[in-house]
Structure 1
């Protein structure tokens, strides 16, 4: 492991392999939670399922106790964008819930998020979810060795703007990841290309667009964690952790390494 450009952590291939193991725990946990999230289930029940699955997979939850956070996952419902605390809230037909999950294996982190519709939701919400997820993939696809971090940012914003009028959160961003869950550099979801640290082998980033049906302005609730839209409009959030190898792009938290989605965008798969 080395450091480059103001504390940006560069991993060895063996350390990236450990991150892949953590990423697979995260990806599989999110699939379990996607199946478990339904009307009548509380966010606290989802949290218990997540912690059990992470620990039974030989990993540790990244979020539990992180700066005092009380859950193993974040569960953000409807107008809650990110960092929702799991608890007594019972999901109802027509809700959407963002589930953010992190796991640690041998000291190395994986971090990813999905948004799940609980039964039928309005078409505009389904479209919001689609645009958010595809913006994430377009951001990852824009990354290449020798490029810059904001190439990702520009690609995310360009895709979002091409799809309609959505709010893009500016104060919450993607991030570097590795031996800690949050590291330099930040990965904004908007901005000009060609800026920020150079993209090199061994750098791992979490790309996570957060979009709303309304404006970009948000506030933090009295619990000091839950981020909600100021206008009450609903939000969606997706995230994956990825790295670049000599042969292409490797999405460490995707079960297939991102191979299918990357191929659809004309990007070489770099997994091993």
Structure 2
């Protein structure tokens, strides 16, 4: 989506705030002993109270209101009977719509106590997202996002999952300009137009290169197997700093 009117920005800010607050409510409730289904129901209830609808459920018939991925699961985890334990890494991804506007956010949370190296991976994963967001601006190259994130990852000895990309969003969960790589590419020539709405969501890893499904056709795992974290905001390109839509408030 490309924003052309102020009321469009207002609508996106509203749903952006809703998905951010939903994710934070789920994160506050996260504790050992609860199931991922119980955590998802907290998210579903919050979205319903705000008059919002789960985007993956409505768009793709995903079997849950939110995606919850634990440890070896790196994305699109189906809420179910899995019990969250101390030391787990839990990725919560919330995307939803209200009044025909869509926003998407996600983050990886730690259930204490966790290894110090995973603390560092989470901190650097959030930093990788921030570095990518800083490359979003009117008439900047789309490839600049992946180049900047790639330099950061390489300098610190990390890898990036290279088949889970950022994407356009706004009037649908996934829309133009389609996939936006968050890793270095050589054939990406597109530029960012003013008002473009997109996610920035690198998947930073300690060795993982690709995401692959196994049995349920939804849940994604790292190949080769390695810890992976993801942090995501929905942003709008402007002539100055990008506007981050998915901030709690």
Match for residue 138 of structure 1 among 111, 114, 131: 131
Q: Residues 206-221 of structure 1: matches in 2 within 5 Å?
A: 206-221=199-214
Given that 1:16 and 1:202 are in contact with CA atoms closer than 8 Å, whether structure 2 keeps it comes out as no
The alignment status of 1:19 with 2:9, answered yes or no, reads no
The range that moved more, 154-163 or 90-99, is: 154-163
**Alignment partner of 1:10: what SS?**
coil
- Please tell me whether residue 116 in structure 1 is matched to residue 109 in structure 2: yes
2:85 matches 1:85: no
Q: 1:212-237: per-residue Cα shift (whole Å, max 9, x none)?
A: 22231332021001011233322111
The residue that corresponds to 1:242 in the other structure is: 235
Distance 1:207 1:114 in 2: 12
Gaps of 5+ in 2: none
**C-alpha distance in structure 2 between counterparts of 1:10 and 1:229, whole Å:** 33
1:54 is the counterpart of 2:55: no
Q: Which secondary structure does the structure 1 equivalent of 2:237 belong to?
A: strand
Using structure 2 for the length normalisation, give the TM-score. 0.94
Q: SS of the counterpart of 2:20?
A: helix
2:89 — aligned with what?
A: 96
The answer on 1:162 being equivalent to 2:151 is no
CA distance in 2, matches of 1:195, 1:222: 33
- Of 31, 44, 53, the residue aligned with 2:37 is 44
RMSD across aligned positions (CA): 1.7
- Assess if the C-alpha contact under 8 Å between 1:26 and 1:101 holds in 2: yes
- The CA deviation at 1:11 is 2.1
Q: Normalising by structure 1, what TM-score?
A: 0.86
When structure 1 is superposed on structure 2, of 23-32 and 208-217 the one drifting more is 208-217
Matched with 1:179 is 171
Q: Distance in 1 between matches of 2:239 and 2:33?
A: 47
Q: 1:154 to 1:103 in 2, by over 3 A?
A: same
8 Å Cα contact 1:168-1:216 kept in structure 2:
yes
**Does the residue aligned with 1:111 lie in a helix, a strand or coil?**
strand
Count of equivalent residues? 247
Structure 1, 22-31 or 231-240: larger mean CA deviation: 231-240
1:229 aligns with 2:227: no
Whole-Å Cα distance in 2 between the matches of residues 171 and 192 of structure 1? 12
CA distance in 1 between counterparts of 2:135 and 2:37 reads: 37
> Any unmatched runs of 5+ in structure 1?
1-8, 257-272
Shift of 1:83: 0.5
Q: Take 1:245 and 1:231, find their aligned partners in 2: how far apart are those partners?
A: 38
